[in-house]
Amino acid sequence: MGSSSEKPQLIIDGKRIDGRAFDELRPIEMEVGVLKNADGSAIVAFGNTRVLAAVYGPREVMPKHVALADRAVIRCRYRMLSFSAEERKSPAPSRREIELSKVIREALEPAIMSELFPRTTIDIFIEVLNADGGTRTTGITAAALALADAGVPMRDLVAGVAVGKVDGKLVLDINKVEDMYGEADMPVAAMPSLGRITLLQLNGVLTHEEFVEALALALKGIRKIYELQKEALRKKYVTTEEA
């Protein structure tokens, strides 16, 4: 958190610092099947945040003793590449990366029909190529696409976005500056067609009314992201089949 003297004005003439409306997503790009050697892959960009996800499996578990008799083991690794942030980070996994790996896995697990693949593993690798806010929700969105691209049976896709409170206003899809200097940020992920929330975290303080409004704003954004996910999958598979 920056000190109040350094804090930039985040809302100017009813617009956010990057010119967006309060309920506006950053420009989003999605592409699936970007890695030849993975079973499934996707690259997703929310503004300047760019994340690559790769999925391997279901495949044999190594070491064997971690296998589960009734379902697949879901393993997830989230990593920020050394050049992804302004300050070069150590290649060793940080506490934050270990924590976010767990958070992302727990957000994706309800969607994966892991019971169909006992004694196997599904490995999800998430690489943050460029970080500008919302990396965990972008990672979840990319990983869900990579799982679908790998042909892993899923109950629904999972899409995510972070809502923030900046200069007293609730805003959708926060960037790094809004995350750093805002009063609150709330990452949310959901399976939209099932109406099921799989991730809900809150850093900062919201009133009850603000929380209800922020959640509605997040779910509205998630539904838009979900449509873009389906479009990205259709684009790959419809054009591949037509070719």
Beta strands in the chain (DSSP E): 11-12, 15-16, 28-32, 40-46, 49-60, 73-80, 120-130, 159-166, 169-172, 184-191, 196-200, 203-204
pLDDT, residue 42, reads: 98
Q: What are phi and psi for residue 73, nearest 5 degrees?
A: -85, 125
Tens-place pLDDT, residues 176-224: 999 999 999 999 999 999 999 999 999 999 999 999 999 999 999 999 9
List, in order of start, the domains of the chain with CATH numbers: 19-242 (3.30.230.70)
Buried/exposed code over 73-105 (b: 16+ C-beta within 10 A; e: otherwise) = bbbbbbbbeeebeeeebeeeeeeebeebbebbb
The 10s digit of each residue's pLDDT in 12-70 is 999 999 999 999 999 999 999 999 999 999 999 999 999 999 999 999 998 899 999 99
Phi, psi of 106 (to 5 degrees): -65, -30
pLDDT of the residue at 1: 43
